[in-house]
Amino acid sequence: MTNLERESVSTGRPYFCRNNLGYPGVVYVLQNPAFRVGVHKIGSSRRSGSVRAGELNRLAKTGTPGQFKCVFEYETLDCGLAEELVFHFLEKEHIGKAGQEFFDIALDRVSEIIQRVCWAVDDDQNSNPT
């Protein structure tokens, strides 16, 4: 367990994407023209954000009008941990029901936060080999 992971677990915050915890991948930002400007869906994937957007667009069960488009993604050594930490930093910008991954935040700001978190996760992973 890495230092960042220990710190995250000790706070008692739940992991939003347990399936990706410990796996390399991306943290992505999706936009949808059906949402007001500044509302983004943030998540992680072992593939790409564009692939994830395509999956959401094909699944009629989402009940979301419009089409999701990946507008930012950043690779990291542990996309599940990075996503959980990003959600922690964006706690005040969270909108919607608990467990939903929607945030009201400018794209340039969220992109910077994701990039910095991924750098920290990768730095921690490189200094604490498993």
* Per-residue pLDDT band at 101 (split at 50, 70, 90): very high
* pTM to 2 decimal places: 0.82
State the helix-helix crossing angle for 79-89 and 3-10, rounded to 10 degrees.
Answer: 50
- Predicted local distance difference test score (pLDDT) of residue 59: 77
| DSSP state for residue 80 in the 8-state scheme | H
- Predicted local distance difference test score (pLDDT) of residue 127: 83
* Per-residue pLDDT band at 30 (split at 50, 70, 90): very high
- Predicted local distance difference test score (pLDDT) of residue 14: 44
Q: Where are the domains of the chain?
A: 3-122
86, amino acid identity:
V
